[in-house]
Amino acid sequence: MGRKRGRDIDGWLILDKPLGPTSTDMVNKLRWAFDAKKAGHGGTLDPLASGVLPIAFGKATRTIPYIMDATKRYRFTLTFGESRTTDDLEGEVLATSPNRPTDEQILAVLPALTGNVMQVPPVFSALRVGGERAYDMARAGRPPELPPRPARIDSITLVERPDADTAVFDVQSGKGVYMRSLARDIALACGTVGHISVLRRTKCGPFDLSHALTIDQISLDKSTQTVDNADALPAPLLDAATALVDIPALAVTDAEGRVLVWGQSIDPSDLVHPLPASSQGEDHLWRAMIGEHVLGLCHVRHGRLRAARMLENHEFFGEHDVDYRRTPHGTDF
């Protein structure tokens, strides 16, 4: 009798996404290859973009929001002289300009595009307008007028000028920043038009290209499976908690860990390893750990330490775990 399809596997696979397929295409392909029950990705890359695409399996999907919010790095090539409907090579030419900025002109406009700025997203984006995707409306000949949105751009570095028509940039940014919009805005600020011709993500949260595997490095051919290796993964996975390494650690005892896992709260002053007084604000996240093992994330809410998102449940503590929901101190540890 065959094994039921869909394995409980947990962890991150960092894919060096190739040009062409969508991020969802790659998640579906790898979910099938790993025979995984649950999978998702930590930040969309356009079909014409390559680079770091974190793919989460099982418990790791619980940490996707923290990867989506994480700092990212990109390298892109801006081609001057043509604006396009999609702000990249895929679109049709909208306008042309003979103007080609000098290095000095480019460097002069970058400070105004750095920091907390307002950015107009590309009309070919996945944003919803009245229940429809913006790119569906644009393809139907009804491109929406998208309002500017807050964006955080930490740094823009001019890396090189291969020729007068192109410039290569490194960018570090926060969540939801569109590189296609940034390239468009750099060109406009320089008195010309332009579009992205090459885009590559080099870092996404704690993951960078040193962690990434190409699709050719992942064993996708199931015809080579035998009885002896049927349960082997097509590629090794990083631990689910790897996504949280940038969040400060908080050592907790077994008893404190049980309380958090059960969804109960703790007075911070009762912790064996107390929180620093300067870090008890309600927007501060902690990575709750027993020894070297990560239980999940916690934060202070209404003056008490509570679970924000747990990777583990009560089964982690074994069959003899105490049900803290039924003990008097479960709500006032």
Q: Please list the active-site residues.
A: 46
β-strands 194-204, 49-57: how paired?
parallel
Contact, 238 vs 56, CB < 8 A? no
Q: Within 10 A of 225 (CB to CB), how many other CB atoms are there?
A: 13
Torsion sign across C-alpha atoms 115, 119, 124, 128: positive
Angle at 68 between CA 210 and CA 235, to 5 degrees: 40
The DSSP annotation for 270-291 comes to: G-SSPPPGGG--TT-EEEEEET
Cβ-in-10-Å burial (0-12, 13-18, 19+) of 21 comes to middle
The DSSP annotation for 184-232 comes to: HHHHHHTTS-EEEEEEEEEEETTEEGGG-B-GGGS---GGG--TTTTT-
